[in-house]
Amino acid sequence: MASELEDIQGVGPSKAEKLREAGYTSVEAIAVASPSEIAAAVPDIGEGAAAKIIKAARELADIGGFETGDVVFERRQKVGKLTTGSSALDAILGGGVETQAITEFHGEFGSGKTQLAHQLAVNAQLPKELGGLEGSVVIIDTENTFRPERITQMVEGLKERYAESYSELELDPRQYLRHIHVARAYNSNHQILLVDSAMRLAESLKESEMPVRLLVVDSLTAHFRAEYVGRGTLADRQQKLNRHLHDLLRFADLHDAVIVVTNQMMSRPEVFYGDPNKPVGGHVLAHTATFRIYLRKSKDNHRIARLIDSPSLPEGEATFRVGTHGISD
């Protein structure tokens, strides 16, 4: 039987409730946290008390030991895959966008980042046999780019795709919109706080028919880029971005969710040969994102996606189409 927060020595019903509200919903989540993280999330708990709670949680959860590779392999078999709508793009991602990981899509304006985010928000609600995750979606919108009309168009596209083979499939656009929870982030601090709000929302929907299985941040770096200007602010920006990314990773682990972030590009004027563009975020984002995909425009409505970083997959390239009814081959 799984341990409850109240089973941790020094945690009573009141503290347990405050910890849950802050996103620490399991003994394991507390066991792997740092005292400063808990003290910052729950003001009533100081760092000294937090350290004692973490120590007790680690003893209760027994997470200090190693495990063999075959056990890790068995656990990895349960990782979910979310289809993008393009079989070619799914193929270079090893079958789709992975749960328990951060997938970053970066590219110039018009390269298809937001279109992919909208399509994944639709596809996440599909049955698992169709490449979905049968779950709800959270979108943190930093650039006011979410459009419910686009979701409606994409659901109409699913009707055309699955009309014959899956006639019993529920494809009501309003129903899909009801399972997409959108929040507009007005600055970087608000953006970070919205991850905590998403954690509470996911916890409230955990036992429902549509638990949260996808969290999208579109875009990840827009506010950080606007608020932290000049080299003098770079260290502060990167530290804050690093904390934000690790909060997203914790969400992915706790809720077996897909994390998708879109990212802007910056130009390097000193580069005369090759591609002068590189993604914003520096090494912090490069090391934290599990998968990184570079999107480029092509002819007509075609886009080129290149997988440039993955812990287990080779670099690869795929072409997909952005049409009226969404992403396709």
State the binding site for ATP: 107-114
Closest CA to 301 of 328, 264, 271, 261: 328
CB atoms within 10 A of CB 75: 11
- HSE-CB of 61 using CA atoms within 13 angstroms: 21
Q: Which amino acids are annotated as binding site, given as ranges?
A: 107-114
> Cβ contacts of residue 327 below 8 Å, gap of 6+?
84, 85, 86, 89, 112, 115, 116, 119, 320, 321
Amino acid identity for residue 263 in this structure: N
Structure tokens belonging to residue 103: 């997938």
Q: Is 14 left (phi over 0), alpha (psi -120 to 50) or beta?
A: alpha
Q: Kindly report the CA angle at 83 between 80 and 88, in degrees rounded to 5?
A: 125
Checking 272-280 for CB contacts under 8 A at 24+ apart, the result is 277/108, 279/104, 279/106, 280/106, 280/221, 280/224, 280/225
Is the N-terminal amide bond of 219 cis, ω within 30° of 0?
Answer: yes
d(CA 186, CA 191): 7
